[in-house]
Amino acid sequence: MPTRWFTETLHRHVRQALAYTRVIAQEKTPFQKMSILETEAYGRALTLDGIVQTTEGDEYIYHEMMTHIPMFAHPNPRKILVIGGGDGGIAREALRHPEVEKVVMVEIDPSVVKFCRRYIPKICGKAFQHPKLELVIDDGARYVRETDERFDVAIIDSTDPIGPATVLFETEFYRNVAQVLRGPGIMVRQTGSSFLQPSEMPEAASRLKKVFRVVAPYVAAVPTYVGGFFGFLFASHQIQPLRATPAHLEARYRRARLVCRYYTPAIHRASFSLPANVRARLEHA
């Protein structure tokens, strides 16, 4: 049988193609078109509107870096908010921290959760059965505008700023996230590929700076998010991401008994050291 190729067309002038053996499932929801493919290189891959969201092969890089960076930077992260994250990967990592009392995950599309639990259960692990997890099916933008709950860490695990996630990139949304954070609360979000989505990080940084005193970019190499280093932003009223010393991070990491596959206390600090080409774009942000 000839090789079948899934082609991601997220970027205007570059396409990523993954060889796959089988379409495991496919569904059109009121929000998006989702599919799960059995790929040769990365195991099962979740795509939403034709864009690779996560794969069994490399999901840990994104999920560990989106979760453990804010969790370990925060002195005592007990209540965690995840916006999006329907595959459960962020919730899984957050629940590994001993201080956590509650993780509220707000996902707009219940079909994504159902789909991922069924076809890529390795990614959520036991997160959805965990007694500390509360799953809310709602629009994340509305949730942060209306809730009375307060959080220590907010992780915005959204798709790209096209389609249903667009509102999760607006200043108004960041203001509401800041409102639901208590004390030294920290927010993180993804900001796309540094090379192929070069304006995403500076744009998000300038919006976040209107709301938070500390805004710090960091990067990680995620193979299926093509286009150079993948970017993230860390934002807080009080916490500097590099305030925690290497010894403190080591101690926290050991106490949590985490066995990570990308995150290390050294990577925690190193990921905030930006290559000059990424830093240059942020100069006027």
Residues engaged in binding ligand AG3 (CB under 6 A): 10, 51, 53-54, 62, 85, 87, 89-90, 157, 159-160, 190, 192-193, 197, 225
Residue with Cβ nearer ligand AG3 (51 or 204): 51
Which residue's C-beta sits nearest to ligand AG3? Answer: 225
Residue with Cβ nearer ligand AG3 (229 or 239): 229
Closest CB 11 distance from ligand AG3, rounded Å: 8
How far is Cα 29 from Cα 50, in angstroms, rounded to an integer? 14
- Active-site pick, 58, 109, 157, 160: 157
Residues 6+ apart with CB under 8 A from 34: 26, 27, 28, 46, 47, 48, 111, 112, 115
Beta bridge partners of 249: none
Alpha-helical regions (H) of 74-146:
89-94, 110-119, 121-124, 140-146
Closest CB 271 distance from ligand AG3, rounded Å: 17
Residue with Cβ nearer ligand AG3 (32 or 54): 54
The question of whether 58 is a catalytic residue gets the answer no
Closest CB 115 distance from ligand AG3, rounded Å: 13
Closest CB 248 distance from ligand AG3, rounded Å: 28
Residue with Cβ nearer ligand AG3 (184 or 225): 225
Whether 233 and 204 have beta carbons less than 8 Å apart is answered as: yes
Residues 6+ apart with CB under 8 A from 88: 105, 113, 116, 117, 123, 124, 125, 127, 128
| Residues with catalytic function | 157
